[in-house]
Chain A
Amino acid sequence: MVRAERQAGASWRKTACGLLLAALTGMSPLAAGQDAAAAQGEATLDILTWGGAYERAQRRALFEPFTEATGIPVRVHRYNGGLKELRQAAKEGSIPWDLIDMSRSEAKNACASQLLEPIAPEILHASPQGEPARRDFIHGALNRCAITHSVFATVVAYRRDAFPGRRPTEIDDLFNQQDFPGPRALQRGPAVNLEWALLSYGVPEEEIYRLLSTRRGLSLAFKRLDNLDSIHWWEAGDTPVELLAEDRVVMASGFNGRFFDAMVNRDLPIEILWDGQVQEHEVWAIPRGARESEQARQFIGFATSTERQTALAELIPYGPSRRSATIQVANHPDHGVDMRLHIPTHPLNAEHALTKDDEWYANSHERIDEYFRQALMTEGTSELP
């Protein structure tokens, strides 16, 4: 561990050689951070992240331990995803955040628009077994401007009491209102909905994005969605849970972590349908012009260490981006639920999983959004939750 830190420190210095701080102290980044905090006194890390149970888990597993270890306080800001705020802030020239928790697809998009700082993978720590970060992280985790910290899934959840005698087992059942009657809640926007619609025709997972690239594939998908009676289109991640809790819908799409929180902590009668889960990478990214970008890099190294990833995955069921962390995940510290069964990357849950094609979305989202609006949003069928 000490050896690993020294290595990380050396390479970190390389990337930050312009910084007086590092050049003068010549210590490991952890120690450097403490010094910096002590020297600057009031340096605060402003982190933009998602709210709800997710934020609570991050506070407990990452933010508080970070402040404890480095003395740098963390100030949390909440958002519902999207690049609108970031673009606005960049235009105004003052970036209020040092670190953003965002989806990989948005990070790629923002990176291409020069909104993010490049991140060298040398800031990452090796695993406790000495496995270097490059080999320990899952495929696609280390990007030019973003480091994947966890894998989450958008899944369908349903009320256990809605369909007496039978339960949805396949993603097709989302569109089957004959056997599973009742209103649905779906996220407003094409992502995930189009994938599920096409999956319901029996298209294999590997071909989804190739087929969605054709007019024919899109119109098939829109037809499926259009045939659904009474869709509630949601935007905030907590909404589908509330809609299910209030029995206003019987099936809803949503993030697996939110549903888990509702099931375990609130004891709501809902169940997750893992078939067709769409996995996405959630990354740390540093906006260009961030005031505390060095502390932000230090935080990324700290928060993506095997130990912290494991701690986070034991609080909220997101799949760690390091293999060494995935195998260490055990029971929830409070109620003892076996978390391995609730993380999307567990083999039992991942049998029919789709990985969201960020590159495809990053390059085509404007056209796809437009098609989606034209096909589904013009008729007034949508209800705002």
Chain B
Amino acid sequence: MAADTDSPTTPPAEPQAPQNAQATDHSPSQGPAGMLRFLGLVLLGAVIGGLSALAAVGFVNAVIWLNDLLLISPRGRMMFAHPEALALATVAVPALGGLVVGQLHRAIRERRPHTPADLIAAVQTRRGRLPFKAGLLSAMSGLVSLGSGASVGQYGPLVHMGATLGSLGARLMRMGRSDDNVTIACGVAAAIATAFHAPLAGIVFAHEVVLRHYALRAFAPVAAAAIVGHVIATNVLSQGALFHVTDTAVPRPWEFAAFIVIGGLGALVAGGYMHAILAVGRWAAKLPVLPSLRPGIAGAVLGLVALWVPEILGMGQETLRFATIQGAFSSLDLVIVLVLKLAATAMCIGMGFGGGVFSPALVIGTLFGALCGTLVTQLGMADETFVFYAVCGMVAVTAPVIGAPLTTLLIVFELTGSYVLTTAALASVTLASPIAAQLFGRSLFDIQLARRGLDLSAGRGRALLQNTRLKSLVSQECVILNPNDRVQEAVTRLGEGGHGEAYLVDDRQRYRGSVTLADLEVMRGKGQGHHRVRSCQRTPRPVLSPEASVWDAMHHVQDVTGEAIAVVDDKAGDAFLGVVYESSIARAYLKHSEDLRREEHGTG
């Protein structure tokens, strides 16, 4: 938990983001000029799509090359003739890779690689502007982790890389935050479209996971990016389909009930997977070891276990394929590999390797589905439909982890072209996603963000207000009284300033409460005009800390009848910083609502 909270989602460097955004977001959105501007955005989306796709192709090929070179891939291992050296490399390569990753992370402010969770936070809070250096270092961390055989996924780094390129594009073109969000989504869509050869899944993923709303304004650039990514992938990336189904078996009607049950059980597996990752993270934070050395330890342990079960090394594409083949694993094998793969992934990610959670979830889910299929087959109830069970298990575990049921369905559809298989997967996802959302959260990313203080469960409007700090609304235009001032002076000053309340601040700049003009007048009426202000009755008023959000302020406004709320820094000995007027809170709320409305419902 400590590790989660000490990494704030808002970089303090840009606390006034929404105000800056206002200046650039006001541009014509209607008429020919708006049209041209929109076409420009679509073109930029296509360019970002191309760059993101090329980066993804480079990344994927670099991982394959490293895996062959470093004796991680089965192919590389089979072609290597010395068994002793091979065993040594199996332990040494992930351990050394972990040490390199640890050093890379030291150069990132948060001391951890950036993941899709960070880009979701940036888009949902309309902050945008993904840091380029951290993005580059995170990509390198992912490359080294995957290349040296850590049990992590490649799609997380690919997606974040695409998003970073998109955000960079928006920054170079001096675009506003809404456009920054769109270009981030473009990079994401192209990365998914390229890596999976699935443009539709890329478009839906960008909407379902990143943008979380549907606007025509965003759709066109995102679609352009996904198409460019797909074209590049089909021409450059000669990778086989992730899975491949040749038989045309059709499941019997009752089997759809089994698929739904697999979905429900898969949600529990997904929950176990997500919580294992988080638990190892919490536990690792308490280890008496330098954070930069933790991935190295995880790598060494991974290598030692891999001497016994080599399946847990790397992304596990071979394991994924075997799990779709009936008879490739015995039930016992399936359980062993499933548990070890889950544990290995939780260890690698929890101990600080860079990389995604999606590919391991695919493997774990497919193994889980294969296990269900094997059991059903052993009961003699099914024979031809084994691959259906494997795929149902895959989507049931994967969809809850990334919070994207539609994307996983589309990946199945675009990769297999089989409508029957997609229908079966749909049956499985029907229960998996809602059950997991109820029990654990919308996705691993959302759980991680909630632990860092960004709660997206109540939607974007609230998250946005919760992430806008009050600091920028603080005003110094108020009457400040010393507790030793006389009442009559105080009344005069309030009258001159045209205010109804004054704030008592002592010589040491500490806030000592507030008084109202009405109470002061009462004292003067009683002939106590020469008394000190401090003897006046204090009005019990809440105070806000400068770190409080607009959302918190909105809550206080409901209970406060005055004109403003004092802002007091309790960390600096109750120092008085100024006041926030209710009207400025309301203005901030309306402005954010208006920005959101324009971003989510604008057409161009």
* Chain B CB within 8 A of A211 CB: yes
- Beta-carbon contacts under 8 Å, A337-380 to B: 359-360, 363-364, 366-368
Contact residues in A for B244 (Cβ distance below 8 Å): 202-204
Bound Cα distance A211, B81 (Å):
18
Residue in A201, A217, A223, A360 whose beta carbon sits within 8 Å of that of B79 in the complex:
A360
Q: Do B322 and A217 have beta carbons less than 8 Å apart?
A: yes
Q: Does B241 contact A (CB under 8 A)?
A: yes
Closest to B246 in A: A202
Output the least CB separation between B568 and chain A (Å): 63
Would you mind naming 12 contact pairs between A and B with Cβ atoms under 8 Å apart? A202-B245, A202-B247, A202-B325, A205-B240, A206-B240, A211-B74, A213-B75, A213-B79, A216-B318, A220-B325, A360-B79, A363-B78
Looking at chain B, what size class is its interface with the partner chain? 20 to 34
Asked whether any CB of chain B lies closer than 8 Å to the CB of A180, the reply is no
Contact of A367 among B78, B241, B246 (CB under 8 A): B78
Q: Is the CB of B79 within 8 A of A214?
A: no
Contact residues in A for B80 (Cβ distance below 8 Å):
363
Inter-chain contact B74/A210, CB cutoff 8 Å:
yes
User: Is residue B408 contacting chain A, with contact meaning CB distance below 8 A?
Assistant: no
Bound CA–CA A363/B77 (angstroms): 10
Flag whether A68 is at the interface (Cβ < 8 A). Answer: no
In chain B, positions 237-290 with a C-beta closer than 8 Å to chain A are: 238-241, 244-247
Instruction: For chain A, give the interface size range.
Output: 20 to 34
Q: Which residues of A contact B245 (CB under 8 A)?
A: 202
Q: How far is the CA of A360 from the CA of B79 in the complex (A)?
A: 6
Q: A202-B246, A202-B247, A207-B321 are in contact. Are A213 and B78 (CB under 8 A)?
A: yes
**11 extra interchain contacts, Cβ-Cβ under 8 A, other than A201-B325, A363-B80?**
A202-B247, A202-B325, A203-B244, A210-B75, A211-B74, A211-B318, A214-B74, A214-B78, A217-B74, A220-B328, A368-B78
**In the complex, are the beta carbons of B79 and A364 less than 8 A apart?**
yes
Question: Which residues from chain B contact A223 at a C-beta distance below 8 Å?
Answer: 327
- Contact among B78, B240, B317, B325 with A364 in the assembled complex (CB-CB below 8 Å): B78
Tell whether, in the assembled complex, residue B75 and residue A204 are in contact, meaning their CB atoms are under 8 Å apart.
no
Whether, in the assembled complex, A209 has its beta carbon less than 8 Å from a beta carbon of chain B, the answer is: yes
What's the Cα separation between A360 and B73 when bound, in Å? 13
Inter-chain CA distance A203–B318, complex, in Å, is 11
Q: Which residues of A line the B interface, CB within 8 A?
A: 201-207, 209-214, 216-217, 220, 223, 359-360, 363-364, 366-368
Q: Is the CB of B318 within 8 A of A214?
A: yes
CA A40 to CA B73, docked complex, whole Å: 55
Q: How far is the CA of A209 from the CA of B318 in the complex (A)?
A: 11
B79 and A363 within 8 A (CB): yes
Contacts of A220 in B (CB 8 A): 322, 325, 327-328
In this complex, what residue of A is CB-closest to B387?
A: A202
* Shortest Cβ gap from B306 to chain A (Å): 13
Structural contact, B73 and A210, CB atoms closer than 8 A? yes
A212 — which chain B residues lie within 8 A by C-beta? 78
Instruction: Give the contacts of B377-423 with A (CB-CB under 8 A).
Output: none
A203 engages B238 (CB within 8 Å):
no
Contact yes or no, B318 A360, CB < 8 A = no
B318 and A210 contacting across the interface, CB-CB below 8 Å = yes
**Interface pair B318/A359, CB less than 8 Å apart:** no
Report A-chain residues with C-beta under 8 Å of the C-beta of B247.
202
Q: Give the secondary structure class of A's interface.
A: helix
Q: How far is the CA of A223 from the CA of B325 in the complex (A)?
A: 13
Q: How far is the CB of A360 from chain B (nearest CB, A)?
A: 6
A180 to B323 CA separation, bound complex (whole angstroms): 28
Are B318 and A363 neighbours in the complex by a CB distance under 8 Å?
no
B64-84, CB < 8 A from A: 73-75, 77-81
Across-interface contacts of A368 in B (CB, < 8 A)? 78
Q: Which residue on B lies nearest to A361, using beta carbons?
A: B79
> Contacts of B79 on A, CB cut-off 8 Å?
213, 359-360, 363-364
Specify which chain A residues have a CB less than 8 angstroms from the CB of B78 in the assembled complex.
212-214, 360, 363-364, 367-368
Are A211 and B322 in touch, CB under 8 angstroms? yes
**Residue pair B81, A360 in contact (C-beta under 8 Å):** no
Q: Quick one: closest B residue to A215, CB to CB?
A: B310
CB nearest to B240 among chain A residues: A206
- Going nearest first, the 8 A-B pairs with the smallest beta carbon separation are A206-B240, A213-B74, A213-B78, A363-B79, A213-B75, A204-B244, A214-B74, A202-B246
Given B77, B240, B246, B321, which contacts A213 in the complex, CB threshold below 8 Å? B77
Q: A366-B81, A367-B81 are in contact. Are A209 and B75 (CB under 8 A)?
A: yes
**For the complex, what is the distance from the CA of A366 to the CA of B80, rounded to whole Å?**
11
Looking across the interface, which residue of chain B has its beta carbon closest to that of A368? B78
Contacts of A205 in B (CB 8 A): 240
The CA-CA distance from A383 to B241 in the complex, in Å, is 39
Asked if A206 and B238 make an inter-chain contact with CB atoms under 8 angstroms apart, the answer reads: yes
Give complex CA distance A214, B76 in Å: 10
Question: Per a CB cutoff under 8 Å, which of B241, B310, B318, B329 touches A204?
Answer: B241
For the complex, give the distance between the alpha carbons of A216 and B239 in Å.
21
Judging by beta carbons under 8 Å apart, are B239 and A206 in contact?
yes
- By beta carbon, the residue of chain A nearest B329 is A216
Give the shortest distance, in Å, between B89 (CB) and chain A (any CB). Answer: 15
The chain B residue sitting closest to A218, CB to CB, is B78
CB distance from A186 to the nearest CB of B (A): 22
Given contacts A201-B325, A216-B322, contact A207 B240 (CB under 8 A): yes
- CA of A368 to CA of B78 in the docked complex: distance in angstroms? 9
Closest beta carbon of chain A to B88's beta carbon, Å:
18
- Cα separation A202 to B386 with both chains bound (whole Å): 13
Whole-angstrom CA separation of A207 from B73 in the bound complex: 12
CA distance A366 to B73 in the complex (A): 19
Task: List the A residue with the shortest CB-CB distance to B77.
Answer: A213
List of A residues within 8 angstroms of B325 by Cβ? 201-203, 220
Q: How far is the CA of A213 from the CA of B80 in the complex (A)?
A: 11
Contacts of A210 in B (CB 8 A): 73-75, 317-318
Complex formed: what's the CA distance from A210 to B73 in Å?
A: 8
For B322, the chain A residues whose CB sits under 8 A away are: 211, 214, 216-217, 220
Residue of A nearest to B239 (CB): A206
Smallest Cβ-Cβ distance to B75: which chain A residue: A213
Q: Within the assembled complex, what's the spacing in Å between the Cα atoms of A203 and B329? A: 15
Q: A358 CA to B20 CA in the complex, in Å?
A: 60
Bound: A364/B317 CA distance, A: 21
**Cα-based distance from A360 to B74 in the complex (angstroms):** 11
Q: Which of A201, A366, A367 has the most CB of B within 10 A?
A: A201
Q: Which residues of B contact A366 (CB under 8 A)?
A: 81
Q: Which residue of A lies closest to B310 (CB)?
A: A214
